[in-house]
Amino acid sequence: MNVHEAIQCLKKNGFKQTDKREDMLQLFADSDKYLTAKDVFDQLKEYYPGLSFDTIYRNLALFENMGILEMTELSGEKHFRFTCAGHQHHHHFICLECGKTKEIDSCPMDGLMENLKGYDISGHKFEIYGRCPNCVE
């Protein structure tokens, strides 16, 4: 997925191409970081002095719905990054300082450390969501 494909995806679904959407998408395309709405806002507002937060939030939600961005919640804030489509199922290491990510191709923690030499691991989260047998009935 790149900016061009993302724009095509939007157009195909009847959404319009705008400068701000392009710039937002370019931001994500240029980095493998998870970004918050504020991160995006701060970087765009120098080009768009009157930029509104609403524009950022609306488009982030749109991009997520389209599958262009993927979202995770970290310490109470939503963080977004370009979807890693086409790959096998994988997870991410997320740097809590700079937001940079690294793909983790295997799923378990076991035997994982060898893929993360040089990283300082402070924690991890693995949770499964759904409905329990009681609630399924």
Partner DNA sequence: ACGTTAAATCGGAATGATTCTTAAAATTAA
Partner DNA sequence: TTAATTTTAAGAATCATTCCGATTTAACGT
Q: Where along the sequence are the contacts to a second copy (CB under 8 A)?
A: 72-73, 75-76, 89, 91-98, 100, 102, 104, 106-110, 112, 116, 118-136
Structure tokens at 43: 């970087």
The stretch among 30-38, 90-98, 113-121, 122-130 that binds DNA (CB under 7 A) is 30-38
Q: How far apart are CA 38 and CA 30, in angstroms?
A: 17
Q: How near is the Cβ of 65 to DNA at its closest, in Å?
A: 11
Q: Which is nearer to a second copy, 85 or 109 (CB)?
A: 109
With H, G, I as helix, E, B as strand and everything else as coil, classify residue 88.
coil
Q: How far apart are CA 51 and CA 45, in angstroms?
A: 6
The entry of a second copy, DNA, none near residue 46 (CB within 5 to 8 angstroms by kind) is none
The entry of a second copy, DNA, none near residue 85 (CB within 5 to 8 angstroms by kind) is none
Q: How far apart are CA 77 and CA 89, in angstroms?
A: 24
Q: How far is CA 15 from the centre of its chain?
A: 20
Structure tokens at 22: 């392009």
With H, G, I as helix, E, B as strand and everything else as coil, classify residue 27.
helix
The entry of DNA, a second copy, none near residue 91 (CB within 5 to 8 angstroms by kind) is a second copy
The entry of a second copy, DNA, none near residue 125 (CB within 5 to 8 angstroms by kind) is a second copy
Number of residues that bind DNA (CB under 7 A): 26
